[in-house]
Amino acid sequence: MAKAKREATEKIKLVDVIIELVDARIPESSRNPVISEIIGQKPTILVLNKADLADSQATQAWLNYYKSQGQRAVAIDAQHNKGIRGLQQEIQDVMQPYFQKQQEKGIKERPIRLMILGIPNSGKSTLINRFVGKNQAQTGNKPGVTKAQRWLKIGKSFELLDTPGILWPKFEDPEVGKKLAVTGAIKDSLLHMDDLALYLLEHLKANEAETLKNRYRLSEADLENLSTVDLLLKITQQMGLRDDYDQASERIIHDFRSHRLGSATLDTPYEAL
């Protein structure tokens, strides 16, 4: 991660616009403060990816908040190629004043140079492939797929510098770490899945109770009367796993990541706090 930060810092002078890619389910928790340091004053578009997995009302609330703070922000679903044209138009809008001045000087317009920065597993490689129109970047549903930097041409309008994901070395807030873990930004092998499942169940009980009931054949009484630990035990039994709580926990996390538990946003929009 230190190497990735150093390389990004060195190359940032070469680009016009930064795309800061975050997970729409945790738009604030997936904003790496190290990336903010790298970006500095460079024009930036905050892109909330995986919007299909997030609560649409919460996503809109986050977009409204960021724009009220003077931060350009758009929501996309790179996996299903939704919102990409809107993002490209936003990039063009950012650069329009610069190109207008260049045109007045008689300087021909050139491709816009982009850099995508974000934490691991935020969908950078998928977004790049949607931009380019063919598989130029490795993709995978696990952190750390992109290993090095390289320039990619996107038609005649853009040139894009691909970079590895940058995860911060220490979380000041344990809640942020849990959210990153639940959404897959941290390798599962480093985690206790039962702790994550309990954290997720607590959120779902409060915000997605109906989905939780339907998915795991629970009753209203189960949600009202059982503690989160007992709820995990009940779901384990409903899965036919007897007392294999670890496997049940893995299934619950997988269900969340694969959208089987509906659209959910773990970060509460500021305007709702």
Is 125 annotated among the ligand-binding residues?
A: yes
Is 49 annotated among the ligand-binding residues?
A: yes
Is 122 annotated among the ligand-binding residues?
A: yes
Is 70 annotated among the ligand-binding residues?
A: no
Order of strands, sheet of 17-23, starting from the edge strand that comes earlier in the sequence: 72-75, 44-49, 17-23, 112-118, 158-162, 150-154
Residue 82 gets which letter from DSSP?
B
Q: Please say whether the beta carbons of 245 and 232 come within 8 A.
A: yes
For residue 197, the one-letter residue type is A
Is 184 annotated among the ligand-binding residues?
A: no
* b/e code 85-112 from CB counts within 10 Å (16+ = b): eebbebbeebbeeebeeeeeeeeeeeeb
Is 51 annotated among the ligand-binding residues?
A: yes
Is 195 annotated among the ligand-binding residues?
A: no
For 24-38, what is the HEC assignment? CCCCCCCCCHHHHHH
For residues 268 and 57, give the distance between their C-alpha atoms in angstroms, rounded to a whole number. 11
* DSSP-assigned letters across all residues of 53-68: GS-HHHHHHHHHHHHH
Is 157 annotated among the ligand-binding residues?
A: no
Is 124 annotated among the ligand-binding residues?
A: yes
Is 121 annotated among the ligand-binding residues?
A: yes
Binding residues: 49-52, 121-126, 165
Binding residues for GTP: 49-52, 121-126, 165
